[in-house]
Chain A
Amino acid sequence: MDNAILATQAHPHEMDQAEEHAHVSLPQHLHHFATEQQQREAGTFGMWLFLLTEIMFFGGLFFSYLIYRNWYYDAFAVASNQLSVPLGGTNTAILITSGFFMALCVWASEVRKKGLLVIFLLLTMLFGSVFIGIKGVEYHEKWEKHHIPGDHFDVSEFVNPHAYGLDEKPLSPDMAKKTQIFFSLYFAMTGIHALHMIIGLVILVWLTIRAHRGDFTAGYVAPIENFALYWHFVDIVWLFLFPLLYLINRHHGT
């Protein structure tokens, strides 16, 4: 009889395993990872691999910018001066602010402050949306001035700048056509950047809803942290786009 009782009781070692299994079902420690630390690093590693593909993706655009800027420098300089530095500069500051609040989101998630996390996520979204709004104003101005490449592109401002009250060197009709390449790159680069931000804003809505439920303030920081990596990467792209597109030739006399 003693034997029978022993057989129905779980072995102490098995009990340990069962407890451990309940423990590893936490989202920050899935059963196929040895430790929470390992899972977190694996996630960060994977996120960075994705960001490396993004570096190559934007890198191709930056490279074509480099080549065309060297070939058609005069067209690039004049076309760049048509962009608004106040709007572009303001947008840079707004994007940096958005990134700052995203960084604070990671901190709030680490120290498990749910209210602060939701507020910071909302502020990140707010500044991100203002950025898209200002970008929209800029695009609209390009539309009105016929500076969108294609059949309706208007070179007259570049061939005869003095008639438009612009203090620029007139371009030959041939070179003036090349301003379309500048605006093509402008729309491609800022457009894909804006697309990344819109995707980011959609993910932010989802993250905010989950953060409000308390998903990320009980030790599970990874989604916030990895999204922050994406958001900061998009910021970095803009940190290069702003001087390269807006500030080519602001000093007159060369």
Chain B
Amino acid sequence: MTEFHDASNVTNPEHAEHHVVTPRTYIIVFITLLIFTGLTVVAAYVDLHIFNPIVALAIATFKAVIVILYFMHVKYQSRLIKMTVSAGFFTFLVLTTMTLSDYMSRAWGLW
């Protein structure tokens, strides 16, 4: 099959070879996730004042990113998929920022 109808150039040349993620990568990610789970528990028992929730969220975000990149294969996907995923999180961030600025500006000085 050398010729097929591809008027809108949907077949991405960069994507011609499918990437199979190996168990080795999965094991490394798995161990990293467990280490950071332990880390987030330990960090919660240390008094870091305002940085406690920031550290907790940073660790959770880091874990989420490696799950998305490796377990969910986004690192090995085409640009279309990468854009779709980032657009989703970006939209959520926009909605949160706008709603939060509304809440904060209504109770100015109390936050």
Binding site for B on A (CB under 8 A): 20, 23, 34-35, 37-38, 40-41, 44-45, 48-49, 51-52, 55-56, 59, 63, 66-67, 70, 85, 89, 92-93, 96-97, 99-100, 102-104, 106-107, 110-111, 225, 228-229, 232-233, 235-236, 239-240, 242-244, 247-251, 253-254
Contact = CB atoms under 8 A, between A and B. Distances in A.
Interface residues of B, number: 60
Contact of B56 (A92, A233, A244): A244
Main secondary structure of the interface of A (DSSP, over half): helix
Given A41-B81, A100-B29, A236-B68, 18 more contacts: A34-B10, A37-B16, A41-B80, A48-B85, A63-B95, A63-B96, A67-B103, A92-B37, A96-B37, A103-B29, A103-B70, A111-B20, A229-B72, A239-B60, A239-B67, A240-B60, A240-B64, A248-B53
A38 B10 contact: yes
Contacts, number: 142
B89 A107 contact: no
Nearest to B5: A34
Main secondary structure of the interface of B (DSSP, over half): helix
29 contacts: A34-B5, A37-B12, A37-B15, A41-B12, A41-B15, A41-B80, A45-B81, A55-B88, A55-B89, A59-B92, A63-B100, A85-B41, A93-B34, A96-B33, A97-B30, A100-B71, A102-B71, A104-B23, A104-B26, A110-B20, A228-B71, A233-B72, A236-B67, A240-B64, A243-B56, A247-B41, A247-B56, A251-B47, A254-B49
